[in-house]
Structure 1
Amino acid sequence: MNEVEYLRIISGQRQDWRAQTLKPCLWVCSLFYRAVVSFRNRMFDWRLRAIERPLVPVISLGNLTTGGTGKTPFVAYLARWFQQQQIQVTLLSRGYRALPGEVNDEKLLLDRLCPGIPHYQNPNRCASSKQAVKEDAQLLLLDDGFQHRKLARDLDIVLIDAVCPWGHGWLLPRGLMREPKSALQRADFVILTRADQCSPATLERLKVEVAEMLSPDRIACAVFRPQELVNVAGDTESLASVAGKTVWGFCAIGNPEGFRQTLENAGFVVAGMQIFPDHHHYSSSDLEGIGVEAANASADLILTTSKDLVKISEQKLSELPVWAVEIGAEITEGREAFEGILQNLVQEVSSD
């Protein structure tokens, strides 16, 4: 069973006898997972496990579920924001699913989106934080850091996907929750992403639910706006120039349905989409198959995500142009409160 089929089972999209047999087994496994997570958190809460504090402020950006909340666009948003404030920010990430001796797709993308901003990938982020401080970092931005409690932080930001906020309602592996909802009590600020892809009533209910664990003035809403198209050569194309075109999509991200919704909201006619496991490394046969499917669907062009584009070198597949939809994060509600907190960190750094 691959990751795509697993997601179909836990989300309820697949309802055959195998799925119905597997879900109780996954539920039992999730009970053991809950016990391990609870024990680990208690060890940190009671200071029975060491927590290292770097010599500079740390911002953690993470989530409660496994991927799909839009962390990468928000890491870029925060990195550029501090860069504009003349703060030397450095990114720290684990390097999840990187090939041996290589960096992963997130670093490749962030290097392009945040030129000039150092980015250290190391599963031992305490070690990379020390290295960054030696290289004159003034502020550390910890990517996917909510569960990485070994490194102390000055601001803990959690992203929640408004479309699927609680990972299908269960902890791993029955669902996609890394921790129970109660873990939000550790957060300093919560941002509800893809707020434009759910109904206003659903969004309001989610705000109320989150406000049970966090002050309402520490909750913001955000959307991801398509900005332009870009290809592997770095050429760009406006969205208006291809509006209404028939497209074939492919992606290997945590929330593929979010990408489909983005394409449809941008005015494209989505003839179909191929979904691969998160952080998938594309083979030549994968790309050939994408081109064949797109041509058979009479697509005008092939669209993917920026995170997927950095893993391929082809400008065309089956003679169809391949473009990535460049996405930008935008806070639509609660921006003033959020940036006020960021500004406090700027003042802290500037006073040192």
Structure 2
Amino acid sequence: MQWLEQHWYRTTPLHLIMLPVSFLFHIVTATRRALYRKGILTSVKLSAPIIVVGNITVGGSGKTPLTLWLAQQLIDSGWHPGIISRGYGGTNKSPLAVQASSSHDEAGDEAVLMAQRKLCPVWIGRDRVAAAHALLQAHPECDIVLSDDGLQHYRLQRDFEIVVVDGLRRFGNGYLLPAGPLREPLSRLTQVDAVVIHGGVASKNQHSMQLYGEIFYNLLNPNVIAHAADFASQRLHSIAGIGHPQRFFTHLNNLGLKVQAHPFPDHHSFTAADLDYADADAVLMTEKDAVKCTTFANEKCWVLRVDAQLDSLLTQQILKKVTPDGRQAA
């Protein structure tokens, strides 16, 4: 996969082969979506409003932090949200309730991370419709559902669509898979309810999102916290197995920390050897990666918690659409 990504942000002779395949991919995806729009393929309407947070590119763009931010915003507005996710990277296929103690091997790293925040129920399933039905049956108090990813899961009807865009990498070379990173053409951006730019400049009618965090907790002893200044003059190593590892390393640099960076592929299955840096005073990592390192971590492992920051206009936009008659959450 990594070798292919190298071709997604430029044009190479290999595109002579890949572009015809991208054209076929476009025909297949466009036809599939049209069949759902015309009702030839059946989609399912939930008993509660559903908000889909997704992207049109392959790889991480900040969907999970945004989903958690939305969950908190909805709670603050009197709603009782639930979250569904595919459980990417996990072995489980059928609907499953995810707990803070769930195995990342079974449920996937992002789903476990969301469950550990303990904001609301989290369910996973390859079939988002089945996962949503299971969530609502198990938690009848839930009156709105957030889907972390699933923009292209058209069998599940949605009331509000949000696309998250990596503000730094944007859309690569602008080609569809496999010639580029696009799952859907750029015209899809004009059809969703909101576009969120993560870490870049937002245009008119778009929302800007930043990730903020400067407090670390010890992976073995989560009650022990440290600030960036506490790591001054220490020998620091940092690991990141996320969609764009450099974003995390840059964040650490902006906190005034000089780290030796070790990037890994997204959803990398870490081992103890990946944390074994003899000269390190501390090994810094993301929450998503920490989920997979708990069982073999040592006292040098520190985790940076980050939270999304947006203006309240997105929340207002969502609530206006899901409660068009002005009713408040129950």
TM-score (norm 1): 0.81
Partner of 1:91: 83
CA contact (8 A) 1:72 1:106 kept: yes
Q: Shift in Å at residue 192 of structure 1?
A: 0.6
CA distance in 2, matches of 1:289, 1:336: 40
Match in the other structure for 1:82: 74
- Partner Cα distance (2:274, 2:266) in 1: 18
Deviations 1:220-264 (A, max 9, x none): 111111231123231322223224644222222111121222122
SS of equivalent residue, structure 1 residue 59: strand
Any unmatched runs of 5+ in structure 2? 94-105
Instruction: Describe the SS at the equivalent of 1:223.
Output: strand
Matches within 5 A, 1:1-352: 3-12=1-10, 20=12, 22-100=14-92, 102-113=106-117, 115-134=118-137, 135-136=139-140, 137-195=142-200, 203=201, 207=203, 216-217=204-205, 219-233=206-220, 234=222, 235-243=224-232, 245-273=234-262, 275-283=263-271, 287-291=272-276, 294-295=277-278, 298-313=279-294, 314-316=296-298, 321-331=300-310, 335-344=311-320, 345=322, 350=328
Residues 287-344 of structure 1: CA distance to partner in whole angstroms, max 9, x if unpaired? 31442xx33xx4432111110100112332xxx711122111011xxx2421212343
1:44: Cα distance to partner? 2.0
Deviation of 1:145 (Å): 2.2
Deviation of 1:156 (Å): 0.7
For 1:15, the equivalent position in structure 2 comes to none
Distance (whole Å) between structure 1 residues aligned to residue 318 and residue 280 of structure 2? 44
Whole-angstrom CA distance in 1 between matches of 2:7 and 2:146: 35
| Residues 136-165 of structure 1: per-residue CA shift (max 9 Å, x gap) | 121000110211111111111111111011
| Greater per-residue helix proportion | 1
Q: Give the AA of the match of 1:311.
A: K
Which secondary structure does the structure 1 equivalent of 2:8 belong to? helix
Distance across 1 between alignment mates of 2:292 and 2:69: 22
Change beyond 3 A, Cα 1:351–1:34: same
Q: Distance in 1 between matches of 2:326 and 2:121?
A: 21
Residue 23 of structure 1 and its aligned partner are, at CA, apart by 4.0
Contact 1:231 1:315 in 2 (8 A): no
Over the aligned positions, Cα root-mean-square deviation in angstroms equals 2.3
Is this contact kept in 1: 2:167–2:199, CA < 8 A? yes
Aligned residues: 311
Residue pair 2:79, 2:329 contacting (<8 A) in 1 also: no
- Structure 1: which 5+ residue stretches go unaligned? 13-18, 196-202, 208-215
- State whether residues 170 and 177 of structure 1, in contact with CA within 8 Å, keep that contact through their aligned partners in structure 2: yes
Within 1, Cα distance between the matches of 2:43 and 2:91? Answer: 29
SS of structure 2 residue aligned to 1:99: coil
Cα deviation, 1:11-66, whole Å, max 9, x if unaligned, reads: 35xxxxxx955443333322221121111122123222212111111111111111
Contact kept in structure 2, 1:248 and 1:303, CA below 8 Å: yes
